[in-house]
Amino acid sequence: MATQQIVSSVVQQQKSAVVSFPVPQAITQFELAAFLSLRGRSHQLQEQVEAAEQSIKIRLESGAELETGDHRAELKENFRRNVSWKDVATRLADRLYFGKGLGYIERILRKTKPTRTVSLVVE
């Protein structure tokens, strides 16, 4: 009898443990159309931002004055050499010049023209 009560209790616990999950809400055509519209607008806005940035950069490079006020804009200029070849050049120089590769690398760096990048900083 005690075994029957235990089995009955377990069966009742199993029945009460069944949880019903809500059915997911259907995705409407309106939602899909709104999403596509927003994604298209996002691309348009990105193009407008890039055009505005390019316009400001060109005018600053040509010496345009900046109106006084809360915001400022300036061009930040960086020069970068492509250094992906540096390890290869070091190994080659060590092989060819028996440890005198440092001078070889310095000569190559002097002859390598750096890549100029200009970015717009607006605060």
- The helix-helix angle for 86-97 and 101-111 (nearest 10°) equals 140
- Is 96 within 8 Å of 104 (Cβ atoms)? yes
Pair (105, 58) in one structural domain: no
Pair (45, 77) in one structural domain: no
Among candidates 104, 64, 76, 75, which has minimal Cα distance to 88? 104
Residue 22 lies in a domain: no
Range of the domain at 111: 67-123
Q: How far apart are CA 105 and CA 94, in angstroms?
A: 10
pLDDT tens-digit profile, the chain (123 residues) = 555 555 565 555 555 556 677 888 999 999 999 999 999 999 999 999 999 999 999 999 999 999 999 999 998 888 876 666 666 677 677 767 665 556 666 777 777 777 888 888 887
- Cα 123-58-50 angle, rounded to 5 deg: 65
Domain count, the chain: 2
